[in-house]
């Protein structure tokens, strides 16, 4: 098909208007790319995206990502949820408790040794916040549309063909053309399957259930999370139950619907009670199947979010991982399309994101391993409890859950290289994150050095000078559009050669 006004060739076609596809589309559109999202579902609303099912914990990295694009204040839900799962439906006017768990073992936030996080400033954004899928998607849809993204719903991508310069995508009985295609179409990704991506990993240990029910005798169930001889159940609200049944995922894989009788049988067995369910309103199942695409790119086709990696939702990491993919990929793909990318920039999407995916999959497998209903797992679980009672133990666990220790292995000597830029607060009260709303690369110069200003202009970077309240000993830093420090210096006379080399790794010199 030839491109016409009715059938334009988009820079990027994104498969899926889930949170990752929407966030990626926003990043691309912010960088002036034309983006078309094709979404399978006609209706963006679903009970599974609403409370209590749709509750999602965002970690420090996702909170920063939203903040750095001016979206944080649009997320209202966290201001009303006090304690997730406990008061989720009875939204209250209080800030949430920022806390977390590993394999159901709650950690004590007060014991964290924050001195180990020496680059986290008092002006940093929250370490965690609670959102709801529907709210997140609504906020991101609004932003995407305001940036000019076209979203077509009710169109499931079935296959595509790619040539040297474009991808033709088939959805329903229509076809669409893009220079690039990104599969953000979730765990069963059609793009991943049609693209022949290998999806390697491990099979599930359990079927997880989330269900809204009426109980005749709720007092028979203990409140909170209960690990039992046969599994785990969590009763957080009178009518909401989460269960883990270690059946190697067989019920989930059977594709059978959850009936009241089945839910009751599983609940009775796991809780070792004769509790009675009188009504089953909504129920869904999930597993801990862990798989990751062995490559994230095949020619002009890329994967991000659940399309690239799946794992148990325990400890809530999947969405965070996916939003991180989008933040990492957006500016790199835009620069590639606009011929502003130095050699190898797009490949760094895989080399940076794939190792983080491995870590998250291992994190979720480790949790499953110590939750299994057998004596060996219980023994390990007890050791973990002890370790999580130590200062170093809780600091390590919290750092992993909140994403505070997450970084990329980038070339460079400064310890901050590859880490998220601290939220420096400048003397006029403006914070670093607020200077990143436009998604540009930044050269930060606390010493007002004229040479750095010239270099910023050469590479098309935003030059920011001025002093900050807490500078952490840093005199200058090069910050990528995704907020990652590509180079930093503590020296009053920063090494220009090093800076020039670092700039050239991520940005192309301007030709005019």
Ligand X SMILES: Cc1cc2nc3c(=O)[nH]c(=O)nc-3n(C[C@H](O)[C@H](O)[C@H](O)COP(=O)(O)OP(=O)(O)OC[C@H]3O[C@@H](n4cnc5c(N)ncnc54)[C@H](O)[C@@H]3O)c2cc1C
Q: State the minimum distance, in angstroms, from the CB of residue 18 to ligand X.
A: 2
The owner of tokens 């590993």 is: 102
Q: Which is nearer to ligand X, 20 or 486 (CB)?
A: 20
56 binds ligand X (CB under 6 A): yes
Tell which positions 9-48 bind ligand X, by CB under 6 A.
15-21, 38-41
With contacts defined by CB under 6 A, how many residues of the chain interact with ligand X? 30
Which one of the spans 178-186, 219-227, 274-282, 444-452 is the region binding ligand X (CB under 6 A)? 178-186
CB 75 within 8 A of CB 135: yes
Q: How far is it, in rounded angstroms, from Cα 100 to Cα 315?
A: 7
In the complex with ligand X, which residue's Cβ is closer, 35 or 455? 35
Give the angle 373-375-378 at the CA atoms, nearest 5°.
70
Site string for ligand X, 132-171 (x = CB under 6 A): ------------------------xx--------------
Shorter beta-carbon distance to ligand X: residue 178 or 422: 178
Residue 318 engages ligand X in binding (rule: CB under 6 A): yes
363 forms part of the interface with ligand X (CB under 6 A): no
Q: Is 32 helix (H, G, I), strand (E, B) or coil?
A: coil
> Residue 312 interacts with ligand X (CB under 6 A)?
no
Distance linking the first and last C-alpha atoms of the chain: 36
Q: Nearest distance from residue 408's CB to ligand X, in Å?
A: 19
Which pairs count as long-range contacts for 231-238, CB under 8 Å and 24+ apart, including other chains?
Answer: 231/206, 231/266, 231/269, 231/270, 231/373, 232/104, 232/270, 232/371, 233/267, 233/270, 233/271, 234/85, 236/52, 236/84, 236/85, 236/86, 236/88, 237/52, 237/85, 237/86, 237/88, 237/89, 237/90
C-alpha Rg value of the chain to the nearest Å: 24
10 Å CB burial of residue 198 (0-12, 13-18, 19+) is exposed
Residue 184 binds ligand X, judged by CB under 6 A:
yes
Task: Give yes or no for residue 288 binding ligand X (CB under 6 A).
Answer: no
Binding segment for ligand X (CB under 6 A), chosen from 161-169, 184-192, 250-258, 427-435, is 184-192
Q: Check residue 319 for interaction with ligand X (CB under 6 A).
A: yes
Measured from the CB of residue 144, what is the shortest distance to ligand X in angstroms?
A: 13
Q: Applying CB under 6 A, does 305 fall inside the site for ligand X?
A: yes
> Quick check: 210 binds ligand X (CB under 6 A)?
yes
DSSP SS3 for 143: helix
CB of 46 to ligand X, least distance (A): 9
CA distance 170 to 148: 22
Shortest Å distance, C-beta 460 to ligand X: 30
* Closest separation in Å from C-beta 316 to ligand X: 3
Which of 177, 185, 245, 445: binder of ligand X (CB under 6 A)? 185
Kindly state whether residue 212 participates in binding ligand X, applying the rule CB under 6 A: no
- For strand 9-15 and strand 35-39, is the pairing parallel, antiparallel, or unpaired? parallel
Enclosing H/E stretch for 29: helix 19-30
Nearest distance, CB of residue 41 and ligand X, angstroms: 4
Shortest Å distance, C-beta 290 to ligand X: 12
Closest to ligand X by CB, 318 vs 412, is 318
Question: Is residue 403 a contact residue for ligand X (CB under 6 A)?
Answer: no
**What's the full length of the chain, in residues?**
512
User: Within 10 A of 57 (CB to CB), how many other CB atoms are there?
Assistant: 23
Q: Is residue 499 a contact residue for ligand X (CB under 6 A)?
A: no
Closer to ligand X by CB, 124 or 320: give it.
320
User: How many CB atoms sit inside 10 A of residue 237's CB?
Assistant: 17
d(CA 286, CA 269): 19
- The answer to the question of residue 178 lying near ligand X (CB under 6 A) is no
Determine how many CB atoms are found less than 10 A away from the CB of residue 446: 20
Residue 376 half-sphere exposure toward CB, CA atoms < 13 A: 2
Q: Which CB atom, from 57 or from 357, has the smaller least distance to ligand X?
A: 57
CB nearer ligand X, residue 306 or residue 482 = 306
Tell me the C-alpha distance between 191 and 262, whole Å: 34
Cβ proximity to ligand X, 58 vs 502, nearer residue: 58
Chain residue whose CB lies nearest ligand X: 18
Looking at the Cβ atoms of 45 and 222, the one nearer to ligand X is 45
Q: Which of 316, 399, 403, 494 binds ligand X (CB under 6 A)?
A: 316
Binding of residue 414 to ligand X (CB under 6 A): no
Question: What distance separates the 2 farthest-apart alpha carbons in the chain?
Answer: 76
What would the DSSP string read from start to end of 74-127?
A: G--HHHH-SSTTTSSSS--SSPPP---EETTEE--GGG--GGG-TT--TTPPPS
Cα 222 to Cα 102, 107, 235, 382, 477: the distances in Å are 20, 20, 7, 21, 52
Which listed range, 181-189, 243-251, 379-387, 454-462, lies at the site for ligand X (CB under 6 A)? 181-189
Q: Are 56 and 131 in contact (CB under 8 A)?
A: yes
Comparing CB distances to ligand X, the nearer of 28 and 474 is 28
190 contributes a contact to ligand X by CB under 6 A: yes
Listed ranges 72-80, 316-324, 365-373, 491-499: which one lies at the site for ligand X (CB under 6 A): 316-324
Return residues touching ligand X (CB under 6 A).
Answer: 15-21, 38-41, 56-57, 156-157, 184-186, 190, 210, 286, 305-306, 313, 316-320, 322
């Amino acid at each position: 098909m030839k491109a016409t006004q009715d059938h334009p060739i988009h820079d990027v076609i994104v498969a899926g208007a889930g949170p990752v596809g929407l966030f990626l589309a926003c990043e691309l559109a912010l960088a002036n790319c034309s983006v078309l999202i094709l979404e399978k579902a006609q209706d963006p609303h679903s009970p599974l995206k609403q409370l209590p099912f749709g509750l999602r914990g965002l970690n420090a990295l996702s909170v920063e990502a939203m903040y750095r694009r001016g979206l944080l204040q649009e997320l209202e839900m966290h201001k009303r949820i006090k304690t997730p799962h406990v008061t989720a439906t009875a939204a209250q006017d209080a800030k949430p408790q920022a806390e977390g768990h590993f394999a159901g073992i709650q950690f004590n936030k007060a014991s964290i040794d924050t001195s180990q996080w020496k680059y986290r400033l008092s002006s940093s954004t929250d370490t965690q916040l609670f959102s709801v899928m529907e709210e997140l998607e609504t906020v991101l849809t609004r932003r995407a549309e305001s940036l000019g993204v076209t979203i077509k719903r009710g169109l499931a991508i079935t296959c595509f063909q790619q040539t040297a310069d474009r991808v033709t995508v088939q959805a329903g009985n229509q076809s669409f053309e893009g220079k690039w295609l990104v599969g953000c179409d979730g765990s069963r990704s059609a793009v991943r399957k049609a693209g022949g991506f290998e999806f390697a990993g491990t099979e599930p240990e359990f079927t997880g259930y989330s269900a809204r029910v009426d109980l005749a005798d709720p007092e028979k169930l203990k409140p909170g999370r209960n690990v039992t001889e046969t599994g785990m159940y969590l009763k957080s609200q009178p009518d909401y139950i989460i269960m883990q049944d270690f059946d190697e995922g067989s019920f989930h894989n059977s594709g059978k619907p959850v009936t009241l009788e089945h839910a009751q049988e599983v609940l009775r067995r796991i809780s070792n009670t004769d509790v009675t369910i009188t009504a089953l309103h909504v129920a869904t199942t999930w597993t801990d199947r862990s798989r990751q695409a062995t490559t994230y790119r095949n020619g002009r086709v890329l994967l991000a979010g659940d399309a690239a990696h799946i794992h148990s939702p325990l400890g809530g990491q999947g969405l965070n991982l996916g939003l991180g993919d989008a933040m990492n990929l957006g500016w790199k793909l835009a620069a590639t399309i606009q011929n502003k990318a130095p050699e190898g920039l797009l490949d760094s999407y895989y080399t940076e994101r794939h190792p983080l995916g491995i870590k998250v999959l291992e994190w979720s497998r480790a949790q499953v391993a110590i939750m299994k209903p057998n004596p060996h797992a219980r023994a390990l679980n007890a050791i973990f409890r002890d370790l999580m009672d130590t200062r170093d133990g809780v600091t390590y666990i919290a750092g992993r859950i909140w994403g505070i220790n997450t970084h990329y292995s980038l070339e460079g000597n400064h310890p901050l290289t590859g880490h998220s830029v601290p939220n420096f607060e400048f003397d006029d009260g403006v914070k670093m994150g607020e200077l990143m709303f436009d998604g540009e690369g930044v050269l930060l110069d606390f010493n007002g050095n004229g040479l750095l200003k010239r270099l910023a202009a050469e590479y098309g970077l935003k030059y920011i000078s001025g002093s900050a309240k807490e500078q952490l000993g840093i005199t200058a830093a090069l910050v990528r559009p995704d907020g990652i420090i590509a180079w930093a210096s503590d020296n009053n006379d920063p090494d220009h050669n090093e800076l020039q080399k670092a700039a050239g790794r991520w940005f192309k010199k301007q030709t005019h």
